[in-house]
Structure 1
Amino acid sequence: MTIAYWCVLAAALMPMIWALIAKKSKPGFSNRRPRQFMASLEGFGARAHGAHLNSFEAFPFFAAAVIIAHQIGKMEQSTMDTLALTYIGLRVLFGIFYLIDKHLLRSLVWVAAVACNVAFFVMSS
């Protein structure tokens, strides 16, 4: 399996990291009512939950970009791997900036991560 494919797995698991941080941000988490608990969060915990939700939203575009680039086969594997690793790094930064409430930096790295996805398509054509 390629590094880029491993990055798809990492991106799929990333929402769980932010969810765990959100759940640990405040006492009283109950697995019987996780959505109610998450909806009650404020501040840091709410931002962790936001990173969790955004990670789910961003995942399909990235997964499709990696899979399609592999199927087309015109891009060098090292380029695909570099783009995928860059995407993962940017998404980690996105979550960190979300947690520490650096909204402008968060938006910049979000745009850069989207640009990685677009690059998969452009460079594969």
Structure 2
Amino acid sequence: MTIAEWCVFGTLMLSLLTIVSVKWAGFRSFDNARPRDPDFYDDPIRSRALGAHQNGIETFPFFAFAVLLAEYRDSPQRLIDELAALFLIVRLAYVLTYLGNRPTLRSILWSIGFAINLGIFLLPSIRGYLTS
């Protein structure tokens, strides 16, 4: 597996760990029979963790597809790997700013992550201009 493919896996795990961590931390008040109970997410940190988790689920398909497309279309693997690792780092920072209630920085990081993802997606289109 390539580094980029491991980053796809890491991005998926990050989105899952974001919500699992608050469920574990609130194990006494979390009812697994009612996992979507809105009362559990009344706590501000839990609410932000849910938001970060949902955003992770929303961004994952485009990232995974972009990586696979770039690899399938023979874009420079080293560049794909570097951009995918950068995306994962930005996503981690995004989650931390979401949990830390830093909305402006969070939006900036989301935009950077989207630009990185777009760059991976467009690599097949510009690979002729890149040196290997």
Partner of 2:98: 98
Partner of 1:32: 33
Deviation digits for residues 69-120 of structure 1, max 9, x if unmatched?
A: 01110x2111000000000000000000000000011001101111111101
Report if aligned partners of 2:29, 2:40 keep a CA contact under 8 Å in 1. Answer: no
Query: Counterpart of 2:29 in 1: which secondary structure?
Result: coil
TM-score (normalizing by structure 2): 0.87
Report if aligned partners of 1:23, 1:38 keep a CA contact under 8 Å in 2. Answer: no
TM-score (normalizing by structure 1): 0.92
- Structure 2 CA distance for partners of 1:29 and 1:85, relative to 1, 3 Å: same
Amino acid at match of 2:89: G
Report if aligned partners of 1:66, 1:84 keep a CA contact under 8 Å in 2. Answer: yes
Partner of 2:130: none
Amino acid at match of 2:82: T
Deviation digits for residues 42-75 of structure 1, max 9, x if unmatched?
A: 21111011111110001001001000001110x2
Q: CA deviation at 1:30?
A: 1.4
- Structure 2 CA distance for partners of 1:41 and 1:22, relative to 1, 3 Å: farther
Deviates more, 1:61-70 or 1:19-28: 19-28
Superposed CA RMSD in Å reads: 1.5
Equivalents in 2 of 1:33, 1:9: separation in Å?
Answer: 28
Identity rate, percent: 35
5+ residue gaps in structure 1?
none
Report if aligned partners of 2:30, 2:40 keep a CA contact under 8 Å in 1. Answer: no
1:55 correspondence with 2:76:
no
Alignment of 1:58-77 (within 5 A): 58-73=59-74, 75-77=75-77
Deviates more, 1:77-86 or 1:16-25: 16-25
Amino acid at match of 1:95: V
Larger radius of gyration: 2
Partner of 2:45: 44
Q: CA deviation at 1:122?
A: 2.2
Equivalents in 1 of 2:96, 2:16: separation in Å?
Answer: 14
Equivalents in 2 of 1:9, 1:61: separation in Å?
Answer: 13
Q: CA deviation at 1:121?
A: 2.3
5+ residue gaps in structure 2?
126-132
Partner of 1:10: 10
Equivalents in 1 of 2:8, 2:54: separation in Å?
Answer: 17
